[in-house]
Amino acid sequence: MSDNDELLENIIMKFLYTDEKLRDKIVPYLKFSIFEEVENIELIKFAKKFMVKFKKFPNAKETRLMIKNSDTYRHLQKLLKMDTSEYTSEMILNETEIFIRQRCIMDVCYNIVEQINNDDMSAIGGSPDAMREAVAFSFDDSVGLDIFDASVEDSIYEQFHDSDVVIPTGLDSLDDYIEGGVHEKTLSLIMAETNMGKSLIMGALATNNVFMGKNVLYITCEMSEFKIGERVLANAFDMKIDDIKMLPKNKFGKCFAKSREKLKGKFVVKEYPTGVASVNDIRNVVKELALKKKFTPDIIYIDYIGIMSGTFTSKNDNTYTAQKRITEEVRGLAVELSIPIISAIQTNRGGMGKEELDMTNASDSIGTAFTADVIIGVTQTDELRAAGKYRFNIIKNRYGQNKVGVLINVNYPKMRLTDDEEYVKKNEVKIPLSDKKHDDIKTNTKKKKKNKLKNIIDA
């Protein structure tokens, strides 16, 4: 058993004795077989017997009074003295659910191996159902929504009036078409051909988010952490990358301190080798950051989804099924964490040099495009490149129109994106353009929603 597993076991045991609400959730699913530490197994066995006799979970005093094994007694004393103040009940409940699910899956696997060793092939017939039950384990006992049940009237009404958590991109012209920005529990993809600047685009949007006060986790599977950091600093310093490299140490320190003063969020970059990172790796990074740095991301960028590894692989997988599965896992993570995830995909040969992309131009797997919530095709003719502009075409959009496009300014030396001059002039956004400072970044989302609501009411 790893140190982390042992720690989690003990934390769960501590919460069983100290948190009544969490205990009520866990106890119906409690089995001593999911624990590995001997003393924890003894405590659960005792608790089970106690509950049969007294119809309740034993408190710490009752347990201390009745257990006879001295090692178990000392272990309980140790548990009760553990400092668990940094862990919330919600976090422990989530970790316990994962913990029990993993142990149930392991039990099924052990049983299958044992049955094979005993040549008991007839008993294996029930293994698929057992595995399905183990994988589906959850504390959530709700099954669907009875729409016309009177008890859910209030919650349905609230859903109509509660908006998704939306994080603006910092590009008002783009946000206009996606209801204010990227939405929680969604996957948005940037589709572009090789060397079009997918990393630049994601880095620029991520930097906008940080200066808006959002915590950003940037997963890079291609470039190094410092290369990503270099681009972000050029954007944040409002300075060309080549000029930053020429700065003496004292001036670099002043620019660094000035940017930190403006920062409202945090930007964490985690690097993985190409083809190695899976959703489980990202999930573990999120957990480690929460435990070690008290950092919880508001949004995750993955650079990029096409060079990730799947959590589950099969020798029968082809490129289509493998990429589709990875995309589904990434979107599942967005739903699990209740945050937006932004990544990128390459175009296929058919998309090379096109002025406008569509879903059939997705490289490797059209299944990737089917899974995403928003897909933005990025193209650039020779004329647009000379003018320092991209064309963003919205190919797929669960939050508004499809097949619409906007021009976006790109400042390559500073790794920055801004709204096109014509859009700014039309909408009277009174901020500098090509070199606008991040403390001037603002969105009109709330104002637009308020005006839209007023029009509905007036009508």
| DSSP characters over 233-264 | HHHHHTS-HHHHHT--HHHHHHHHHHHHHH--
Alpha-carbon distance 102 to 105, whole Å? 5
Q: What is the DSSP letter of 195?
A: T
Hey, which bits of 233-354 come out as E strands?
A: 267-271, 299-303, 341-346
What is the pLDDT tens value at each position of the chain, 459 positions in all?
Answer: 677 788 888 999 999 999 988 888 888 888 878 888 899 999 999 999 999 999 899 998 899 888 888 899 999 999 999 998 888 888 888 888 888 888 888 888 888 888 888 887 766 766 777 787 788 777 765 667 778 888 778 877 877 766 678 999 999 999 999 999 999 999 999 999 998 999 999 999 999 999 999 999 999 998 999 999 999 999 999 999 999 999 999 999 999 999 888 888 899 999 999 988 899 899 999 999 998 888 999 999 999 898 898 876 666 667 778 888 899 999 999 999 999 999 999 998 888 888 888 888 887 677 788 889 999 999 999 999 999 999 999 999 998 888 899 999 999 999 999 999 888 888 764 444 334 444 444 444 444 544 544 454 454
- DSSP states of 174-193: HHTTTTTSEETT-EEEEEE-
Beta pairing partners, 257: none
With CA atoms as reference, report the closest residue to 167 among 213, 132, 199, 123: 213
With CA atoms as reference, report the closest residue to 408 among 389, 432, 388, 386: 389
Contact 339, 297 (CB under 8 A): yes
With CA atoms as reference, report the closest residue to 397 among 187, 159, 206, 164: 187
- Residue type for position 67: I
Contact 365, 345 (CB under 8 A): no
What is the rounded radius of gyration, in angstroms, for the C-alpha atoms of the chain?
Answer: 26
Give the count of alpha carbons within 13 A of 51, CB side only: 14
